[in-house]
Amino acid sequence: MSNYHIKHLEEYYQVYRKSIQNPDIFWEEIAEEHFVWRKRWNTVLEWDFSKPEIKWFKGAQLNITENCIDRHLRTRGSKTALLFEPNNPDESTQHITYNQLYKRVNQFANVLKDQGIKKGDRVCIYLPMIPELAIATLACARIGAIHSVVFAGFSATALATRINDSDCKLVITADGSYRGAKTIDLKTIVDDALKHTPCVKNVLVVKRIGSSINMQTNRDKWLQPLLDNALTECEPEIMNAEDPLFILYTSGSTGTPKGMVHTTAGYMVYTAFTFKNAFQYQENDVYWCTADIGWITGHSYIVYGPLANGATTVLYEGVPNYPDWGRFWKIIEKHKITQFYTAPTAIRALAKENLKHVEKHDLSSLKILGSVGEPINEEAWHWYDTNIGKKKCPIIDTWWQTETGGIMISPIPYATPTKPTYATLPFPGIQPVLMDENGNEIKGNQVDGRLCIKFPWPSMARTIWNNHQRYRETYFTAYKNNYFTGDGALRDEVGYYRITGRVDDVIIVSGHNLGTAPIEDAINLHPAIAESAIVGFPHDIKGNALYGYVILKETGTNRNHDNLRKEINQIITEHIGPIAKLDKIQFTSGLPKTRSGKIMRRILRKIASSEFDTLGDTSTLLNPEVVQEIITNVL
């Protein structure tokens, strides 16, 4: 896979132009050169956004695990595929080679078959970040079963909803999980969920923490004895290009999660291509993405993308602050990590801590730093650049979504000059457009609008499980013949994109359009402030006014609040203008966040508007307890 590295900006523009002018040829060349196919495609792309219907590599047949595992055995059999770093630093690291991965995936696949799982069946995976999580997803893919990984921090109710929505026959879980100094009884959560899921016939249980758990006769089975008796060869199921590979749930504007369906060939081609170029992967690199496989980032950039490239990919079971806030940096030093991919929320949390945690460790192996999940504010970007990358590592701010399957807008290291807070340029094949409120495309540079994508790309979700209508309404009706991302963006004078946040977070104050992200960025520049969130609340004269929730750093906790409020509005005035000043500023110890680290603005909006009775379900939050604190201290 040598020649799909993009090496300089000129080459990027060349490749980009080709990908737009002749997408069929562009993707066909990549597909031909870098993958193993059982049967070639008849057409590269057929599409119609009005239905919407998107088919990539129609007629082709393949199995993604042959591409992620089998074909590497000859050249990389004894190379580490999965490098497992356990929660407890005293437990030894596991190096799982491609040869071992092959055997373990095949054994697991044979166990699934013995449980009666067939091509097209849905299997729910509810596991901690242990090797079995990656192996279980691959085992499903080996036999053509559709995996639905549910992040193992979701509650029993959330788990049951997802199991029922896609009618899963089998659940794969563990006796428990480690999270820092704590353990979590995963199996108990599964037992609760399964009181409401008649579709589930069997449960396979991985022994991880060794706790005594309830095993329901005939339904629940320990995995290990079954694996021990399973053959290490399992013929891969031959899949059609557009057969579903997995379902992954994402929350929407309504309560019901959306089961985004990703299919086989296009997803494989695009995640492999973007992994290679976004991280400039080289044969001996050790790549680490800190996400959980329960999210799309983990699917695409811990499992499929890296393995399709024959990479060594790290799986870390624990949290950033166990046993202390130096753990990430310790892991980087220990395994000589070359590419490190994490989220702004983690960066900000780490930046709040004493720098001695960073300075203790040798981070000189690092070559590239990545960020994903939300806009990265300027202060966090510089902290990351200075203290982690030592100003030598390009930072790739990668914009994408569960729905897009892979990275859409991102610098390509060494080719694209970076610019703090900018995701910069579209990947080859990606055609972003900005739209105004009336659905007209805004051309030219130095403009902002709603971010749409006007042409299909191989890894886009093809539908919402069992609800194609909702898929169409959510993504393809607001802007005719375009995929609507739900995000706002601006394009600067050279065509770089900056994602300004969800457009539902835009607040109109006195007829002015204000994005929350730029205001928060400005506030976060204040030396005493760790994090902030802005929402709108109804105002008699302005229509909406701004309400800020602000978390102070350790160093700011003894400051006078009224003085701080003045300083915050001073910074906003300086960076955006007096129109963006906050009417109310509440200091708080935390912000309600989703498990993936996103601030739940909906809850903050309701509290700021005194709508305490309609907060909705807060049980899936990372930190539900903070909601009460915020309500108690509301201004």
State the nearest-atom distance from the C-beta of 622 to ligand WT7, in Å.
13
Among 309, 312, 485, 516, binds ligand WT7 (CB under 6 A): 485
Six-digit token string for 235: 């013929």
Q: Please identify, among the stretches 345-353, 466-474, 483-491, 607-615, the one whose residues bind ligand WT7 according to the rule CB under 6 A.
A: 483-491
Residue type, 270: Y
Among 168, 303, 372, 452, binds ligand WT7 (CB under 6 A): 372
Asked if 34 touches ligand WT7 (CB under 6 A), the answer is no
State the nearest-atom distance from the C-beta of 580 to ligand WT7, in Å.
19
Asked if 399 touches ligand WT7 (CB under 6 A), the answer is yes
- Name the maximum alpha-carbon separation found in the chain: 73
Asked if 397 touches ligand WT7 (CB under 6 A), the answer is yes
CA separation for the pair 496, 493 (Å, rounded): 7
Asked if 400 touches ligand WT7 (CB under 6 A), the answer is yes
Among 166, 271, 312, 398, binds ligand WT7 (CB under 6 A): 398
Residue type, 247: I
State the nearest-atom distance from the C-beta of 37 to ligand WT7, in Å.
28
Asked if 416 touches ligand WT7 (CB under 6 A), the answer is no
Question: Binding marks (x or -) toward ligand WT7, 93..122, rule CB under 6 A?
Answer: ------------------------------
Asked if 296 touches ligand WT7 (CB under 6 A), the answer is yes
Closer by beta carbon to ligand WT7, 134 or else 291? 291
CA atoms within 13 A on the CB side of 267: 32
Q: 620 by DSSP, 3-state: which?
A: coil
Closer by beta carbon to ligand WT7, 416 or else 596? 596
Closer by beta carbon to ligand WT7, 237 or else 403? 403
Asked if 345 touches ligand WT7 (CB under 6 A), the answer is no
Among 242, 374, 448, 531, binds ligand WT7 (CB under 6 A): 374
Sorted by sequence, the CB contacts under 8 Å of residue 130 that are 6+ apart come out as: 84, 174, 206, 208, 315, 317
Residue at shortest CB range from ligand WT7: 402
Asked if 482 touches ligand WT7 (CB under 6 A), the answer is no
Closer by beta carbon to ligand WT7, 401 or else 618? 401
Number of residues assigned to the chain: 635
Residue type, 634: V
Q: 366 by DSSP, 3-state: which?
A: coil
State the nearest-atom distance from the C-beta of 401 to ligand WT7, in Å.
4
Q: Please identify, among the stretches 187-195, 233-241, 326-334, 393-401, the one whose residues bind ligand WT7 according to the rule CB under 6 A.
A: 393-401
Q: Collect contacts of 417-420 with beta carbons under 8 A, ≥24 apart.
A: 417/9, 418/394, 419/492, 419/496, 420/376, 420/378, 420/381, 420/382, 420/385
Question: Binding marks (x or -) toward ligand WT7, 239..258, rule CB under 6 A?
Answer: -----------x--------
Residue type, 115: Q
CA separation for the pair 396, 398 (Å, rounded): 6
Closer by beta carbon to ligand WT7, 170 or else 346? 346
CA separation for the pair 265, 42 (Å, rounded): 13
Phi/psi at 427 (5° precision): -65, 155
CA separation for the pair 33, 492 (Å, rounded): 35
CA separation for the pair 287, 51 (Å, rounded): 39
- Integer distance in angstroms from the first to the last C-alpha of the chain? 58
Sign of the torsion formed by the C-alpha atoms of 315, 319, 320 and 324: negative
Phi/psi at 509 (5° precision): -115, 120
Among 486, 515, 548, 592, binds ligand WT7 (CB under 6 A): 486
Question: Binding marks (x or -) toward ligand WT7, 593..612, rule CB under 6 A?
Answer: ---x----------------
Closer by beta carbon to ligand WT7, 200 or else 423? 423
CA separation for the pair 370, 566 (Å, rounded): 35
Neighbours of 207 (CB within 10 A): 14
Q: Please identify, among the stretches 137-145, 177-185, 294-302, 548-556, the one whose residues bind ligand WT7 according to the rule CB under 6 A.
A: 294-302
Among 297, 339, 463, 544, binds ligand WT7 (CB under 6 A): 297
How many chain residues bind ligand WT7 (CB under 6 A)?
A: 21
Among 213, 303, 314, 499, binds ligand WT7 (CB under 6 A): 499
Asked if 502 touches ligand WT7 (CB under 6 A), the answer is yes
Q: From edge to edge, which strands make up the β-sheet containing 432-435?
A: 441-442, 432-435, 447-453, 483-491, 497-502
Q: Please identify, among the stretches 99-107, 394-402, 441-449, 538-546, the one whose residues bind ligand WT7 according to the rule CB under 6 A.
A: 394-402
State the nearest-atom distance from the C-beta of 296 to ligand WT7, in Å.
5
Cis bond upstream, residue 52 (ω within 30): yes
CA separation for the pair 112, 506 (Å, rounded): 47
Asked if 620 touches ligand WT7 (CB under 6 A), the answer is no
Please report which residue ranges of 364-429 form alpha helices under DSSP H: 378-383
Closer by beta carbon to ligand WT7, 135 or else 372? 372
Among 373, 394, 411, 515, binds ligand WT7 (CB under 6 A): 373
Question: Cβ distance 18 to 26 under 8 Å?
Answer: yes
CA separation for the pair 415, 217 (Å, rounded): 58
Closer by beta carbon to ligand WT7, 111 or else 372? 372
Question: Cβ distance 344 to 315 under 8 Å?
Answer: no
Question: Cβ distance 501 to 508 under 8 Å?
Answer: no
Asked if 569 touches ligand WT7 (CB under 6 A), the answer is no
State the nearest-atom distance from the C-beta of 348 to ligand WT7, in Å.
14
State the nearest-atom distance from the C-beta of 20 to ligand WT7, in Å.
22
Q: Which residues bind ligand WT7 (CB under 6 A)?
A: 250, 295-297, 372-375, 397-402, 423, 485-487, 499, 502, 596
